[in-house]
Amino acid sequence: MEAENKNQIIKNLIKSIVDNPNNSDNYIKLANIYLADNEYDRAIGVYESLLQFESSNYIALTNLGSIYFCKYDFKKAINYYSRAASLDVDNFSVFYNLGNAYAELGDFKQSMSNYIKALNMDKNNYKVYSAIAMLYQDRENYEEALRYYEKALAIDNKVPENYINLAFILMKMSRNSEAAENFKKALSLDSDNFKYILFCANALSAAKNYTEANSYFDKIIKEKPKYYQSYLCYAISKYEQGNLDDAINLYQKAIEINPSAKNAYILLGNLYFSDKKYEEAAEVYKKVLEIEPADSNVYTLLGNTYVMLKDLRSAISLYKQAIDIDSDNDEIKLVYIEIVQEFIKNNTLDENTNNAA
């Protein structure tokens, strides 16, 4: 719809509403135009005006519920959906949407109740089974989540997201080979989705099927050579395989791709630390602090590195800076106190030795 034509239609509808304020069709038409342009606040104003004289207008109630859901105002969404549900107790969409809104608020009982009502109206709707699976997944009840994802896939086995979600649950349960097979099924349905390729690689690596994992990692790097996350995941896998040089090169490649992102630096520093290359680790951690000088975790990592380098004075200073940033972190405080005590003890021993000499 051209802007000039649309504006004229809006003017005509507003005039019609003024001339005949009890004609609900004009309100609906006007609100639909605003919705098409994502002008939610204007659509809300129109629907609420309609409800002032026709409080049981089903379209207005359900659309207001959907608008407020999109605006993340789930309590208002529930209010309007509930009013709509009281008018039509056999409408699948309203109860399904109520279930979604309650799920967003973390109300498992109400969410499940509305999903069950929706299922009673349409037992072959895979979306409800998927939604219930996500409820259980959020509560870390993985067995039930698996059961409902499998029900969803039994109804429609062409939905890649269900394979993806099921696979992530299997990985949580350390069933990595099964997870990889489900990621592959998702990939077969959406072969251009490079994230699915990475998911396959990670699951295969977790299953220690490194040869096949490497083939997926190589594939994604070839197809998406600037995809930062793939280099991090591949580096982690290479480290697990014992190929430290390859892991270092991959982290360095990630840093070249995005030198302002800190994750590759931290992981590379951790690798050096684990390999007892403490000076190299310290240099990498320092680069992170140039990017993000208020990261208490990195001050702690750097402090740990200086402890291994026997430079307790520098370590104490770094732990102190970490505490200044994150004063609620009791773990850092305990390490700080321990290193301070060790520093005092060492200095006391040195003084006693010097005095004895």
**Averaged pLDDT for residues 85-101:** 95
- Can you give the three-state secondary structure of 77-121, one letter per residue? HHHHHHHHHHHCCCCHHHHHHHHHHHHHCCCHHHHHHHHHHHHHH
Residue 352: pLDDT above 80?
Answer: no
Distance in angstroms (rounded) separating the CA atoms of residues 33 and 9? 9
pLDDT for the residue 111 = 98
Cα 13 to chain center, whole Å?
42
310: left (phi over 0), alpha (psi -120 to 50) or beta: left
What rounded mean pLDDT belongs to the chain?
93
pLDDT for the residue 5 = 84
pLDDT for the residue 356 = 46
**Averaged pLDDT for residues 225-253:** 97
pLDDT for the residue 355 = 47
pLDDT for the residue 2 = 66
Residue 242: pLDDT above 70?
Answer: yes
Whose tokens are 């609620």? That residue is: 328
Residue 296 · residue 329 · CB < 8 Å: yes
pLDDT for the residue 57 = 95
pLDDT for the residue 346 = 80
Distance in angstroms (rounded) separating the CA atoms of residues 279 and 301? 13
- What is the pLDDT confidence band of residue 7, given thresholds at 50, 70 and 90? confident
- What is the pLDDT confidence band of residue 347, given thresholds at 50, 70 and 90? confident
Quick: pLDDT tens for 144-196: 999 999 999 999 999 999 999 999 999 999 999 999 999 999 999 999 899 99
